[in-house]
Amino acid sequence: MNLQKKKILCISGSTKSRSTSLSFLQYIARSFEGLLEVEIYNNIGILPHFNPELDNENLPEKVKDFRRKIEIADAILFCSPEYVFSLPGSLKNAIEWTVSTTLFSSKPVAIIITAAVGEKAFESLSLIMTTIEAIVPETSKLLIKGAKGKISSNGIINDEKTQKQIDKTVKSLIKNIDNDDKRGTKFRQ
């Protein structure tokens, strides 16, 4: 049995330095610190606008760094708001920088949308991940409506139902990684 902690890259879909999405990701990092090595990427705002003309040997350093983080992670967990009935443009932009690669092919992924309503962002991110061949079982997807109301003023998530839903979603992601290990996908290239 592989006892090494699994490496999860948690990508916040918000560009704010202190956001609802970040509070949820920090909750996940704290809750699973004994089991997982969690890195929170709260930096999508620094990535340049996607430009296919730079998607070659001229790839910007910040994009190289972002891609490398995805590459070495055992799994990716997105936590994102919904903006104007869609994914935040900055998150879509970050993902566009990966589309010419196979970084997401067979990668275990979890999707958490934390918004007022969030259904369109949820559908959109699910479709994008399926399109770029990530493995995202239904049990690894969570839509948290009224997300701001689930966080206390000091950024703590103390709504018990939400805590249980997050717990189930992250455990589903861990199971997905274990299945990935069995499939041996990491050694396929």
Ligand X SMILES: Cc1cc2nc3c(=O)[nH]c(=O)nc-3n(C[C@H](O)[C@H](O)[C@H](O)COP(=O)(O)O)c2cc1C
Q: How far is the CB of 152 from ligand X (least distance, A)?
A: 14
Minimum Å distance from CB 5 to ligand X? 26
Length of the chain equals: 189
> Which residue number, 27 or 180, has a Cβ lying nearer to ligand X?
27
Contact map string, positions 108 to 147, toward ligand X, x by CB under 6 A: ------xxxxx----------------------------x
Using a CB cutoff of 8 Å and minimum separation of 24, what contacts does 148-157 make?
Answer: 148/20, 148/116, 151/20, 151/23, 151/24, 155/18, 155/23, 155/26, 156/23, 156/27, 157/23, 157/24, 157/27
Q: Which stretch binds ligand X (CB under 6 A): 17-25, 28-36, 63-71, 92-100?
A: 17-25
Quote the distance between the C-alpha of residue 177 and its chain's center: 14
Piece of 52-60, 75-83, 128-136, 158-166 that binds ligand X (CB under 6 A): 75-83
Nearer to ligand X, 147 or 157 (CB): 147
For ligand X, which is the closer residue by CB, 6 or 150?
150
Q: What whole-number distance in Å separates Cα of residue 25 and Cα of residue 29?
A: 6
Nearest to ligand X of 85, 164 (CB atom) = 85
Distance of CA 155 to the CA centre of its chain: 19
Rule CB under 6 A: say whether 90 interacts with ligand X: no
The answer to whether 76 and 9 are in contact (CB under 8 A) is: yes
Identified binder of ligand X from the candidate list 84, 154, 184, 189, rule CB under 6 A: 84
Q: Which amino acid is at 187?
A: F
Contact 19, 40 (CB under 8 A): no
Residues that bind ligand X (CB under 6 A): 14, 16, 19-21, 81-85, 114-118, 147-148
